[in-house]
Structure 1
Amino acid sequence: MMNINCGGREETCILFDEQNGIDRMSSLPDDICKYILSFLSTREAVQTCILSKKWINTWASVSDLKFDINEFIDDDMEELELVENSEDMAVELVTKFELLVKSVLEKREISCVNTFQLWLDLGVFWPCTQVVPDCICDAMKLKPREFSVKLRSWENLNLNTDLIFTCASLIHLQLHLCSLHDRFVAMEPNSINLPCLKTLNLYGVIMSDDSLKKLLLGCHVLEELVLERFYIEGIIKICSNTLKMLVLCNDYDAMRLQISTPNLMFLVISMDTCEIMLLKMPELVCAFINIPGWCDQDIYLTMGPKLIHNLSNVKSLHLQLHCPKGKVQKKDFSNCPVFNNLKHLKLFMTPVFYIIEKSWGFYVFDLVPFFLHQSPELQELTLHGNRVVTEFVEEEATQEGPRDALVQREFLKTVIIVGCNNDNGFVDQLINKLLVHVKIIGEIIVDNLGDL
């Protein structure tokens, strides 16, 4: 039984009437059969072969092949890590999964597919064998347009990267790789030819700066690039005239970063870096910057102004700089332009811990008056704190400090304070500090339970 839309109204159609011996399933047009299968997982689509003779091989022509090991987790395997024979069960589960993937690809019609998805990731490491890499090679022969692989394996992952990075049909490519024995999975293809690729998402890979350069040169129309948990040997150089979105997220060693993307609209940098160079980005609309490693005052005062200068065109800015105790001086940002487009600003205030007093406090409030003065169109300011922080660090007043050098702003529409306790009147103290720099605040919203 299924619902069919007929001229704007839904009608129920009985596909198999056992009482009257009517089998409408076998008389459905091929296009309708394929349309029905498009709503099913690959595993479910294969199971339709028992419906009738016509459906024996219909599943082999579906345009989307999606394999997810979550489909194999039944009720008695939900607590897999807690049972005594969990390792044997894991081997059995993955073997079952691999056999399905291999069988489907062997019986699949030799024609192009729209999507190939293979997810073997449940948050723990699995006994993946060479069957999966072999299946990935077979899948590439089907010339997919969308290709998504997530693997978390006990063994070293031996992928044929040359075959993947020369698949000219690819439009979207995601490789999410994690091995128990390797910190990163090597990505050093000899040849790269991805003329149609628009989105690229790589997780858990290591490559040389030369390979990264060749990768970007081999993707002529790339619009979205996401690199997570990665390592680049040398300098990370992102040079592209086509990129519109760039996401760099890492929690490993500090690396040097150079970005030249004149058409970029969306930027995320959440990683430690000892050097960052951003060329002008006139089209940039939204930026999220989190750099935890600028504890050294010299690095902060050298790189901070340069970074902020190249973000001056944004409309929305999320900024998290773990800067040192030293105050931000007006002279340090004297060459920064006005943020004429900035309407939404979120500053993540960095907590610091005092061992002697055994308490938490904030150093970073100096950028607030700077942005209030340099952003004439600013409507909303969000200060994101930490619930364990209960006091401000009282800084020494200087004649060069922003508090004295910058004039008071007349009006700010909205101030949002997130994730701060009002213990010892901390939130009240924060609001009073803001009112030193803004005469009138239209609305103040306090969200003590907010998360990052």
Structure 2
Amino acid sequence: MPPRKKLKSAPPVIGVDRFGALPDHMLHHVLSFLPAQAAVQTCVLARRWRDLWKSSTGLRIVGLNDLDELSVQDIHRFVDYLLILRDRTDLDTVQIKLDEFSKEDQPYVNLWVRYAVMCKARALTVHITDGDLCLDDLPLVSRHMKTLELSGVALRKTFLDFASCPALEDLKMTDCGIEADMISSVSLKHLSITDCDSDLDCRIRVSTPALVSLKLVGFSGRTPVLGNMALLETAYVDLGPNWEDGCLHYDSHGVFCGANNNACENCVRIEDGYSSDCVLLGGISSARNLALLSERRMFVFTRDLKHCPTFSNLKTLLLNEYWCEAPDLDPLACILKNSPVLEKLTLQLYSKGPNHEVELKGSYAPMEGPSVIPEHLNIVEVKCTVVDKRVLKVLKFLSAYNIRFSFE
């Protein structure tokens, strides 16, 4: 038999560092998605990685390490050294997310915020889960910042004056204490104020003439006054159970005591300068898409309707039962009368959603003579849990203007 051929052994597999083969600017971008602790630890991977973290385009200071919560006291020494050793390169994003926070930690966090501004950060996030961070009462001065997201912090007067931030376009505030009487920016396009509060005895004025989208949900305190927003396209306003602007004698028939001579303290409490102006509706009257929701006791929308503007651009409108509580449905009729180009109306009645038990689709056929219904209206939706007498009252009102419904 011929001698058996010896099989050649396969060459050893040599690991290829595909990430390490990427150019520096791409690795800096990859590192920007890591928490600062993890980004620094990449220095042990290889000689190539030794100093890459120093020029990362993002800085993420987070109070987590191997899924354990860390306080500011646990990490501030590390962060201080990191800021000293970093290259003096610009930052695209800075995130400061902390779960545990105490009053003694304020100087450290404020220093980190100022460092972000100094490094020309374009996006800054400050998120405090548990604690009271009071940001320095100094205005932000940055020609580069475009996005600012704040959560769980106290904001005082000069901080919310963004005159020195000409590039700022997005501002999101969640669960913040607002201690300023003005929020102003000539460049802001998107504003979100969610579950924030104010202890001020006056209304906060919002001056953002370039705004395109607005979200105002669950504000506690005197409802903010919205200045003219001529470029506004979309606004979502949901006035939660805010007792500062709630009628103390509101009855089950949808009548506010402000309509009577014996008005409660809240209903008659109108500051100088607001007695003949709208609080909300005037500022958002240019919007194309509106959602206007309110708890039943809130009187702000009802008071605004006495000086109701014309919603000359409004195409889609979402309302809840607040607008249908009055015996003659005057609030609903008023806003429809002042929305001449409205195309779609959605009524969300006594049902929070998003999944509603009953959905009715309606269509409108114009009829001869004057009508409270806009002539362009072609879609009417009514969403509810059950068709009870309260919903039937609304359907009867709409049917009187030649709107016919079908169940889905």
TM over 0.5: yes
Tell whether 2:292 aligns with 1:319: yes
Tell whether 2:188 aligns with 1:243: yes
Q: Report the 3-state secondary structure (helix = DSSP H, G, I; strand = E; otherwise coil) of the residue aligned with 1:274.
A: coil
TM-score (normalizing by structure 2): 0.69
Tell whether 2:113 aligns with 1:164: yes
Task: Give 5+ residue unaligned stretches, structure 2.
Answer: 1-8, 248-255, 259-265, 353-369
Preserved contact between residue 162 and residue 192 of structure 1 (Cα < 8 Å)? no
Q: Report the 3-state secondary structure (helix = DSSP H, G, I; strand = E; otherwise coil) of the residue aligned with 2:220.
A: coil
TM-score (normalizing by structure 1): 0.63
Q: Give the whole-Å Cα distance in 2 for the aligned partners of 1:34 and 1:310.
A: 44
Aligned positions of 1:294-333 closer than 5 A: 294-296=245-247, 297=256, 298=258, 305-324=278-297, 333=305
Tell whether 2:311 aligns with 1:339: yes
Tell whether 2:95 aligns with 1:148: yes
Residue 129 of structure 1: how far off its partner (Å): 4.5
Q: Report the 3-state secondary structure (helix = DSSP H, G, I; strand = E; otherwise coil) of the residue aligned with 2:94.
A: strand
Preserved contact between residue 94 and residue 123 of structure 2 (Cα < 8 Å)? yes
Aligned to 1:272: 220
Residue 366 of structure 1: how far off its partner (Å): 3.5
Residue 162 of structure 1: how far off its partner (Å): 3.7
Preserved contact between residue 126 and residue 152 of structure 1 (Cα < 8 Å)? yes
Aligned to 2:336: 372
Residues 35-54 of structure 1: CA distance to partner in whole angstroms, max 9, x if unpaired? 58966864888888888xxx
Residues 107-155 of structure 1: CA distance to partner in whole angstroms, max 9, x if unpaired? x43x3x2122244379x99452523234444555544220112211165
Preserved contact between residue 244 and residue 263 of structure 1 (Cα < 8 Å)? yes
Name the one with the larger strand percent: 1
Aligned to 1:21: 12
Residue 291 of structure 1: how far off its partner (Å): 2.3
Preserved contact between residue 178 and residue 198 of structure 2 (Cα < 8 Å)? no
Aligned to 2:4: none
Preserved contact between residue 173 and residue 200 of structure 1 (Cα < 8 Å)? yes
Q: Give the whole-Å Cα distance in 1 for the aligned partners of 2:220 and 2:78.
A: 36
Note closer, same or farther for the CA distance 1:263–1:136 as it changes in structure 2 (3 Å cut): farther
Aligned positions of 1:197-208 closer than 5 A: 197-208=145-156
Residue 247 of structure 1: how far off its partner (Å): 1.3
Count the aligned residue pairs.
343
Note closer, same or farther for the CA distance 1:324–1:49 as it changes in structure 2 (3 Å cut): closer
Q: Give the whole-Å Cα distance in 2 for the aligned partners of 1:38 and 1:276.
A: 39
Residues 76-127 of structure 1: CA distance to partner in whole angstroms, max 9, x if unpaired? xxxxxxxxxxxxxxxxxxxxxxxxxxxxxxxx43x3x2122244379x9945
Calculate the aligned-residue CA RMSD, in Å.
4.1
With CA pairs under 8 Å and 6+ residues apart, which has the higher RCO, 1 or 2?
Answer: 2
Q: Give the whole-Å Cα distance in 2 for the aligned partners of 1:280 and 1:38.
A: 40
Q: Give the whole-Å Cα distance in 2 for the aligned partners of 1:161 and 1:237.
A: 22
Q: Give the whole-Å Cα distance in 2 for the aligned partners of 1:212 and 1:318.
A: 26
Note closer, same or farther for the CA distance 1:300–1:126 as it changes in structure 2 (3 Å cut): farther
Match of 2:177 among 231, 234, 245: 231
* Letter of the structure 1 residue corresponding to residue 155 of structure 2: M
Between 39-48 and 128-137, the greater mean CA deviation after superposition = 39-48
Residue 211 of structure 1: how far off its partner (Å): 3.5
Identity in percent: 20
Q: Give the whole-Å Cα distance in 1 for the aligned partners of 2:301 and 2:140.
A: 45
Tell whether 2:90 aligns with 1:173: no
Residues 329-386 of structure 1: CA distance to partner in whole angstroms, max 9, x if unpaired? 8x974643321110111113249xxxxxxxxx94595332122211121111111233
Q: Give the whole-Å Cα distance in 1 for the aligned partners of 2:38 and 2:155.
A: 38
Tell whether 2:65 aligns with 1:114: no
Residue 209 of structure 1: how far off its partner (Å): 1.4
Tell whether 2:233 aligns with 1:285: yes
Preserved contact between residue 195 and residue 220 of structure 2 (Cα < 8 Å)? yes
Q: Report the 3-state secondary structure (helix = DSSP H, G, I; strand = E; otherwise coil) of the residue aligned with 1:23.
A: coil
Note closer, same or farther for the CA distance 1:307–1:191 as it changes in structure 2 (3 Å cut): closer
Tell whether 2:403 aligns with 1:440: yes
Q: Give the whole-Å Cα distance in 1 for the aligned partners of 2:391 and 2:331.
A: 18
Preserved contact between residue 260 and residue 278 of structure 1 (Cα < 8 Å)? yes
Aligned to 1:81: none
Aligned to 1:132: 75
* Letter of the structure 1 residue corresponding to residue 144 of structure 2: C
Match of 1:209 among 157, 160, 167: 157
Q: Report the 3-state secondary structure (helix = DSSP H, G, I; strand = E; otherwise coil) of the residue aligned with 1:313.
A: coil
Between 131-140 and 370-379, the greater mean CA deviation after superposition = 131-140
* Letter of the structure 1 residue corresponding to residue 308 of structure 2: C
Aligned to 1:396: none
Note closer, same or farther for the CA distance 1:131–1:33 as it changes in structure 2 (3 Å cut): same
Residues 4-35 of structure 1: CA distance to partner in whole angstroms, max 9, x if unpaired? xxxxxxxxxxxxxx932253615987326985
Aligned to 1:415: 380
Q: Give the whole-Å Cα distance in 2 for the aligned partners of 1:275 and 1:326.
A: 10
Aligned to 1:385: 349
Q: Give the whole-Å Cα distance in 2 for the aligned partners of 1:246 and 1:312.
A: 16
Task: Give 5+ residue unaligned stretches, structure 1.
Answer: 1-17, 62-107, 352-360, 389-404, 447-452
Aligned positions of 1:77-116 closer than 5 A: 108-109=53-54, 111=55, 113-116=56-59
* Letter of the structure 2 residue corresponding to residue 434 of structure 1: L
Preserved contact between residue 171 and residue 199 of structure 1 (Cα < 8 Å)? yes
Q: Report the 3-state secondary structure (helix = DSSP H, G, I; strand = E; otherwise coil) of the residue aligned with 2:205.
A: strand
* Letter of the structure 2 residue corresponding to residue 153 of structure 1: E
Note closer, same or farther for the CA distance 1:285–1:140 as it changes in structure 2 (3 Å cut): farther
* Letter of the structure 2 residue corresponding to residue 212 of structure 1: L
Q: Report the 3-state secondary structure (helix = DSSP H, G, I; strand = E; otherwise coil) of the residue aligned with 1:412.
A: coil
Q: Give the whole-Å Cα distance in 2 for the aligned partners of 1:232 and 1:163.
A: 21
